[in-house]
Amino acid sequence: MARSARVQSTEAIKRFRAKLIKFAEEAKAALGDTDAELLRAGTWLRQDRQAYWKMEYRRRAEAFQRAKSALNEKKLYKSATGDRQSSVEEEKAFALAKRRLEEAESKVEAIKAWLRKLEDERFLYKAQSQRMARAAEMDVPRAVAMIDRVLDTLDAYFHESAPSPVTGMSDAFESMARNLDAAARVEAERVDAERRLECAALRRLSPRPAERDAVPPIEEAPPWPGGRRIPPAQLKALAAIEIDHRPPDPADIVILAKRTETAPRIFLERLRTSSAGDSGWYVGPVGVEPTSDDCIAVSVAMLSARREDWAALFNMPFGTLIVENDVGIEYFCDASDAPTQLIVDDDESVADRQTGSESE
């Protein structure tokens, strides 16, 4: 027996539609506010607190040296009468200067730790909020399109001019496609703008040529987690792009920030440098500004031995910036900071994952 429904009003459906749209707007606003808050926190730590305490550390280090010199002078030289001079005040000043210097040093280290922690938490938040963002940007427009189709059908039923099933379905799918295309376009523009800002921010973190020259070389690169590799499908897609390759000499150095191998997101940037034997490459955690003490210099050959998948990346031209996460290349930029995402065939991606799981 065919089932039927006795519908007398569509007001409840319309109210649900309005609430669904409002939910999507509020969800996008909440996600946007959270992203902005994370950005503000990172900017405050990096540009405000870190800059302040670095300057304060230098100022207090100078005051410490002055207090130390004054104390040594009092202890070394006798008074006009030949007696040993009292150094009580100088010792107090020296102790105070030492405490203030230690405080500044601990603040600098704490800010570095909080920047790393903030970046880790930001990565986890992004991973967990993607589902909500996708629902607000794509699933809700799809649901609204389906509700519109139902309302159109019911409206035609009430007026005894129900559209043919083929026409009704065609119009509904066209409406759905338009909503999905618009949502996808908005999302793509948002991601592109966010990545452009991130590229510009990351370029400010790379050590400058003079800082690179001060980094001490080491004889062996640190070990890398076995599962942290770029999928072959992404390397294949990268090889298919027309790029003016500039391979470095295997003996050229790469500046590597310490603990990069444990960071959830890292970036590789190639600067143009005039130093002989410098490849121009820097590898470090996203969102962490290093000092020369936080970095080591390793050869291209040595680092490529640890990360064979990077051998192709090191050939990319000056101005290249690559962001990598735990599943591969997130995106890369050229010298103009135009972000590019590698398009990988789904079948190849699945094959890569199966190959990886079998090898494990």
pLDDT in tens, 110-140: 988 888 888 888 777 777 777 788 777 778 8
Q: Give the domain-ending residue among 161, 176, 202.
A: 202
With respect to residue 183, please indicate whether it lies within any of the assigned structural domains: yes
pLDDT at 322 over 90: yes
pLDDT at 7 over 70: no
**225 & 263 share domain:** yes
Task: State percent of the chain over pLDDT 90.
Answer: 21
On whether the CB atoms of residues 304 and 311 are closer than 8 A, the answer is: yes
Mean pLDDT, residues 52-64 taken together:
91
The range of the structural domain enclosing residue 310 comes to 208-359
pLDDT at 164 over 90: no
Whole-angstrom Cα distance, residue 284 to residue 294? 10
Tell me what pLDDT residue 2 has. Answer: 46
**174 & 257 share domain:** no
Tell me what pLDDT residue 65 has. Answer: 92
On whether the CB atoms of residues 215 and 169 are closer than 8 A, the answer is: no
With respect to residue 4, please indicate whether it lies within any of the assigned structural domains: no
On whether the CB atoms of residues 302 and 220 are closer than 8 A, the answer is: yes
**291 & 144 share domain:** no
* Domain total in the chain: 2
With respect to residue 175, please indicate whether it lies within any of the assigned structural domains: yes
Q: Give the domain-ending residue among 177, 202, 227.
A: 202
**190 & 234 share domain:** no
**70 & 165 share domain:** yes
With respect to residue 5, please indicate whether it lies within any of the assigned structural domains: no
The pLDDT tens digits of the residues spanning 21-51 come to 888 888 888 888 888 888 888 888 888 888 8
3-class SS string, 299-315? EHHHHHHHCHHHCCHHH
**94 & 214 share domain:** no
Tell me what pLDDT residue 351 has. Answer: 47
Compute the C-alpha angle 102/106/110, nearest 5°.
Answer: 175
**186 & 72 share domain:** yes
Query: Looking at per-residue confidence, does 13 or 359 come out higher?
Result: 13
The pLDDT tens digits of the residues spanning 293-321 come to 789 999 999 999 989 999 889 999 999 99
Whole-angstrom Cα distance, residue 282 to residue 320? 11
**261 & 286 share domain:** yes
Instruction: Name the strands in the sheet holding 266-270, side by side, starting at the edge strand that comes first in the sequence.
Output: 295-299, 253-257, 278-285, 266-270, 321-325, 328-333, 339-340
Among residues 282, 279, 288, the alpha carbon closest in space to that of 268 is found at: 282
Q: Which helix (H) or strand (E) holds 157?
A: helix 140-158
Least confident stretch, 156-170, 191-205, 336-350: 156-170
Q: Give the domain-ending residue among 183, 202, 221.
A: 202
**129 & 61 share domain:** yes
Least confident stretch, 31-45, 68-82, 196-210, 285-299: 68-82
With respect to residue 91, please indicate whether it lies within any of the assigned structural domains: yes
